[in-house]
Structures are given as structure tokens and as C-alpha cells.
Amino acid sequence: MSATMKAAIFVKPGTIAVEEVAKATIERDDDIVIRVVRTCVCGSDLWFFRGLSEQTPHSQIGHEAIGVVEEVGSAVASVKPDDFVVVPFPYSCGTCPVCKAGFESVCPHGGYFSACQAEYLRVPEADGTVVVVPGSPDDYDDATLASLLTISDVMSTGYHAAVSAEVKSGDTAVVMGDGAVGLCGVIAAKMRGATRIIAMSRHEDRAALAREFGATDIVPERDQAAIDKVLSMTDGYGADAVLECVGSKQSFDTALGLVRRGGVIGRVGLPHDVTISAEGTFYANIGIKGGPAPVRHYDIAGGLLDAVLSHQINPGRVFTGVYDLDHIQDAYEAMDQRNVIKALITL
């Protein structure tokens, strides 16, 4: 009889079960298997939880994890059993021109994880994917482990918004979205030297965390009122950079209205019904950049791992609820009802 493991299973919208399934195992020479130490629920998981996006019934779920290497395939060179690793939500070959350009998240030989909410996880293309953390999980306190987990997705995604928006020293940056990604975008804008960081939020807990992370101003308004507010705060010129961490038409249109001529909108929210005017952006010299975050690139070359380990940044603060795997249904419900900003799962 083959080994089993506990895993979160999508049953139907609103219902997540925890079941015994076949344990993750090496399938290819370049795979590793990790024992998951922390995973979490993402805002994007709420799409299938709410029945708003397709998800195969009775499928495994989750795309964020940190853990300890349990087994390595014969072709893996960069990690060995017992290594502690962050698993970026995209896997990637690490060697093609797309990866070498720092865009591992759109590697044509890669893909995205979808089974991280489990005791074990198979990681394909391990050499081109994982981020090795010095030591073992036992060497770190819970707060640091939480921050390390954020550099598997949300912190790196917020950073991609800031890089894509070309935030630079002295800028006024606007962050659209007060979910975990937007809040991490505030951290990223500060890391990149923005001196005025305007966070769009109408939730007291999130606004407070945005301020803790470096937001200098909170704007609760939306749509034209939000545009008017930011224009009034910038002598009518608009923000140098906009981090668009929502992805809705409403949010993108607002971003277009409040960005300075010559500014850039960095997009990381999955676009839903967004339209981009080819003329409007052109005649105002507005740039549009972004997409799925190249997590590994930012964690290593971008310095996010070091920033977490040195406690320069504490993005793990976005986890305002902690659950064990057996209670992951509660974690989804708490996220869905906005009772927590982001739900951490311990194993």
C-alpha cells in the first residue's frame, strides 16, 4: 500500500475538505518533494471558493508554500534533503531567455502550483524554481516563517507591482487594493524609495497595517472621487507610479485617471473586463506593465529573502489568522468574510 498524506480538497464552492490522498512523490528526475511547513489561503483562491471561477471538483488546491526538502530527483543539483526552501507560486526552468531576463513566472517551460495546501508537495524543475533559505525552519520564529511564506507569492507580487510601476526614490506612489498584495505593495514602494505612498483603503484594519508598512496617506474614496482626491493631493498632476493590485475594470480605470502623464501603471491583479485605450495611454505617455510576479527573481536577485531575514521588512504581518490544515475550511471562510486579511496554515 502506497503512502498517503493529508491535503485540502476543493469539494464545491464554499466547501473545502481535508482528505487522505496519495503522498506527493518524485515523478521526473528534476523534481523534488518537500514536506510543507507553512501554506496559506490566497485572495485568488476565493474565486473558486465563491464559485466565480472554474475549479475541478475534488481537486487539490493552493499555490503558496515553504517547507523542507524530503526527496530529490536524480537530476537535481542545487538542493538536498533537509534543505529549507521557499516555493514560488510559479515553477520555471531557470535557464531559458525568459527566465534569464528575470521573468520566471512566464517561463514557457514552467507553470503554476495548485497543490500546496497539503502535507507534501511535488516541485517540478526544482533547480530553476526553489529559493533556498539558510538553516532549517526550527531556526526561525513564527513571525519570520510567516514573512518567508509571503515571498512565495504576495510580497513578491506586491514588489512586482512596484517594479513594474517603476517606483523610484522620491516618487509619489498610489497603491490600489488593500488585500495582502496591496499591503505588500506598500512595503515594496517604500523599499524602492517612494516618499509619499497613498494607499486606497476603506477598512480600518487594513489601513492601519498599510500605515505600519509605510503608507503616508489613506484614501477611502473610489472612482472619480478617488481620482479627484489624488489629483488634489498632487497639485493636479497625478501620481508618479500606480500599483494596481486589484484587476477590476473599476480599479484600472481609476488608476488611469490618477497617474501622472509619463507615469507607469504596474499591474498585478488578474485582469477582469479591463480595457486599455491605445490612444489614451499613448497621448499621455502612460506605460502599462506587469503580470504574474517573477517570485524567484525578486526573492534572490531582488533581495526579498535577505530583506526578510534581516527583518528590514515584516510582510508576514498580513497573516491575521492562523489555522491548522484540519481547519482550512475556517481559514477560507474567514478570508471570504474579510474577518482576516490573510489566513496562515500551519502544519
Q: Is 294 in the site for a second copy (CB under 8 A)?
A: yes
Report the alpha-carbon distance of residue 18 to residue 22 in Å, rounded.
13
* Least Cβ distance, residue 73 to a second copy (angstroms): 26
Which residue is associated with the grid cell 472612482?
Answer: 223
Cβ proximity to a second copy: between 285 and 312 the closer is 285
**Interface map 79-118 toward a second copy (x if CB under 8 A):** -----------------xxx--xxx-xxxx----------
Run of H or E residues at 264: strand 259-267
Chosen residue from 126, 148, 242, 288 binding a second copy by CB under 8 A: 288
222, 319, 118, 306: CA torsion to nearest 10: 100
* Least Cβ distance, residue 245 to a second copy (angstroms): 13
* Least Cβ distance, residue 98 to a second copy (angstroms): 5
Chosen residue from 114, 234, 320, 346 binding a second copy by CB under 8 A: 234
Secondary structure letter of residue 166 according to DSSP: T
* Least Cβ distance, residue 63 to a second copy (angstroms): 15
**1-60 positions binding a second copy, by CB under 8 A:** none
| Number of residues counted as binding a second copy (CB under 8 A) | 44
Residue 212 to residues 152, 169, 187, 217, Cα–Cα distance (Å): 22, 19, 9, 11
With CB under 8 A as the contact rule, which of the stretches 3-11, 28-36, 42-50, 270-278 interacts with a second copy?
270-278
Cβ proximity to a second copy: between 156 and 164 the closer is 164
Residue 262: helix, strand or coil by DSSP? Answer: strand
Sign of CA dihedral 96, 101, 107, 111: positive
Secondary structure letter of residue 50 according to DSSP: T
* Least Cβ distance, residue 167 to a second copy (angstroms): 13
- Closest alpha carbon to 230 in 241, 240, 219: 219
- Closest alpha carbon to 92 in 120, 62, 112: 112
Cβ proximity to a second copy: between 78 and 234 the closer is 234
Q: Is 243 in the site for a second copy (CB under 8 A)?
A: no
Which residues in 83-102 are b (16+ Cβ under 10 Å) and which e?
bbbbbbbbbbbbebebbeee
Chosen residue from 15, 285, 312, 339 binding a second copy by CB under 8 A: 285
Which residues in 170-183 are b (16+ Cβ under 10 Å) and which e?
ebbbbbbbbbbbbb
In 33-175, alpha helices (H): 45-49, 97-100, 126-129, 142-150, 154-164
Q: Is 264 in the site for a second copy (CB under 8 A)?
A: yes
Q: Is 296 in the site for a second copy (CB under 8 A)?
A: no
Cβ proximity to a second copy: between 103 and 213 the closer is 103
Q: Is 192 in the site for a second copy (CB under 8 A)?
A: no
**Interface map 139-168 toward a second copy (x if CB under 8 A):** -------------------------x----
With CB under 8 A as the contact rule, which of the stretches 127-135, 177-185, 274-282, 305-313 interacts with a second copy?
274-282
Q: Is 260 in the site for a second copy (CB under 8 A)?
A: yes
- Closest alpha carbon to 247 in 179, 298, 156: 179
Which positions lie near a second copy, rule CB under 8 A?
96-98, 101-103, 105-108, 164, 234-237, 240, 252, 260-264, 267, 270-271, 274-279, 281-292, 294
